[in-house]
Chains A and B, each alone.
Chain A
């Protein structure tokens, strides 16, 4: 069994300040973990992925995430928020090639 929990449904930050979007997972197997972003009325775009290589993963647009097995976490961070980062973010866990589980999403609001 596997599950993923996004701890915040809504995060609001000021432009230029750091972003932290939290994700915890559970999985019976070694998981692959992903962060996807969905801008309004758009499809999902992959930000970054962890697949048992380096625990600190760098993605597009300055985002990065750290896989912490002891904490079963995969939090998404960015040093400085930009207005264009405002979107819905999904943490995703996958164990085995068939099953994938999405988190419930975190809406990021960036205040000018």
Chain B
């Protein structure tokens, strides 16, 4: 069974479009995250949700809107896509009571904006 899954794996779209990436975890975790990995492999946290509540919101354009319908899902919606949004987006999850703070990552979604 896949612990953290993301769909789609690849997403190619044109500038100006709106797209969503979905994430689901079946680990029973209560905290989920979105990361962006740029072309230089640098990973930066974008958002973190705990029990459907936003707890981290880094400096990210408001074109990016996370939505957590329940603890097992954290979707990322992006409006008016720009060339600079091209990156690999990773979803991750952890359990707040896990004092090791270990995060489990999804396989990533490669977004290409043309």
Contact = CB atoms under 8 A, between A and B. Distances in A.
Partners in one complex: yes
Interface stretch (B13-21, B68-76, B77-85, B103-111): B103-111
B42 A104 contact: yes
A10 to B, nearest CB: 11
B56 A46 contact: no
B93 interface: no
Contact of A97 (B35, B96, B108): B96
A43 B100 contact: no
Interface string A78-112: 00000000001010001001111010110100000
Given A43-B106, A99-B56, A100-B33, 6 more contacts: A34-B102, A38-B41, A49-B100, A99-B45, A102-B43, A105-B43
Interface of B: 4, 31, 33, 35, 40-45, 48, 55-56, 90, 92, 96, 99-108
25 contacts: A32-B99, A32-B100, A34-B102, A42-B107, A42-B108, A43-B90, A43-B108, A44-B105, A46-B103, A46-B104, A49-B100, A49-B102, A90-B43, A97-B96, A98-B55, A99-B45, A99-B56, A100-B101, A102-B35, A102-B43, A104-B40, A104-B42, A105-B41, A105-B43, A107-B41
